Amino acid sequence: MSVGLIALLDDVAALAKVAAASLDDVAGQAFKAGSKAAGVVIDDAAVTPRYVVGFSAKRELPIVAKIAVGSLRNKLLILLPVALLLSLFLPAAITPLLMIGGAYLCYEGAEKVYEAMVPHRAQAHEARLGSVALNPQTLEDEKVAGAIKTDFILSAEIMAISLAALPRSDVLTQAVVLAVVAVGITVAVYGAVALIVKADDAGLALARNKGRSAIGSLSRGLGRGLVLGMPYFLRALSVIGTAAMIWVGGGIVVHGLEVYGLDGPGHAIHAAAATAAHALPALAGAVEWIVAASLSGAAGLLIGGALIPAVEFAVAPAWATLKRALPGRARTS
């Protein structure tokens, strides 16, 4: 073998090592950035299953797939380039945009609390806000659109938090890392959602196991447990999702106010959490998180509650007027 060929192979090997190191670096950065957004990811996974409740079993996975595709499109085609452009040319706009998204999450969560506490008035409120679905396809389309709209806000928070967690690097590396985060989180969230919404079907299949062995008996017991337990689990997950929306949204708004020098609410939350942690040093970390999250949630509930009449009497009528004015809009009788 010639010396030139040996040198060429050495160069190829060196390039391969550099490429492998770069891939490891991207994967490591993506993991660290994604982990920073863990709270919003949990929120996303908890919120989505409620959009599938009430549909036939054969429509559950197609609906989850539609929402997942919309989520990925939001992240890769809209949010990723917008985040990079804003970070390069208009970084001052990121905080107010995040605060608007946080306020929207507060509103969505507070509206769900309102529905639970005052169901009759909430139904009238919903009737004023939007159209009534006339057929199953219309209902499905509205549910998917609502899920993607909520996911857009959550995805924006995920991408912004992930971008803020990245070390300084070139734009291409940031884009690749954010793309890895976007795909990884979407697959994880909607894979988990698909498993959750199909768990009752899996339980029904297990419950029908006619085997006489111990494994067959165990299978039937597990299946019956899944079938009986999933409605309660979905209800609990809906509550967790609503609480997470309010907590995350309130925390975003409070942090944004701190950025602009209005640090009173944030300081009070941090002080209360620190005091509670000091009182229970054995559980300091957990207590501090619980108190901070609870107070952020209380702030979010206040923000969302204030936004409900604003949306009902100002935003919703303006949006309805705009929709009526759109040319070519299909009308139903």
Q: How far apart are CA 159 and CA 163, in angstroms?
A: 6
Within a domain: residue 4? no
In a domain, 41, yes or no: yes
Flag whether 227 is in a domain: no
User: Do the domain assignments include residue 331?
Assistant: no
Per-residue pLDDT of the chain (333 residues; tens, 9 = 90+): 444 444 444 444 443 444 334 444 445 554 544 444 555 565 556 666 666 666 666 777 888 888 899 989 998 999 999 888 888 888 888 888 888 888 988 998 898 888 888 776 655 555 555 544 456 677 777 878 888 887 887 788 778 777 776 767 678 878 888 888 888 888 888 888 888 878 877 888 888 877 777 777 888 888 888 888 887 887 787 788 788 888 888 988 999 999 899 999 999 999 999 999 999 988 888 999 899 999 999 999 999 999 999 888 887 788 778 777 766 544 444
What domain count does the chain have? 1
264: tokens are: 């009173």
Q: Is 110 helix (H, G, I), strand (E, B) or coil?
A: helix
In a domain, 116, yes or no: yes
What phi and psi values does residue 317 have, to the nearest 5 degrees? -60, -40
Q: Is residue 55 in some structural domain?
A: yes
Q: How far is Cα 81 from Cα 104, in angstroms, rounded to an integer?
A: 22
> Does any domain span residue 221?
no
Domain that holds residue 152: 22-203+232-324
The reply to whether 14 falls in a domain is no
| Spatial separation of the C-alpha atoms in residues 320 and 318, rounded to whole Å | 5
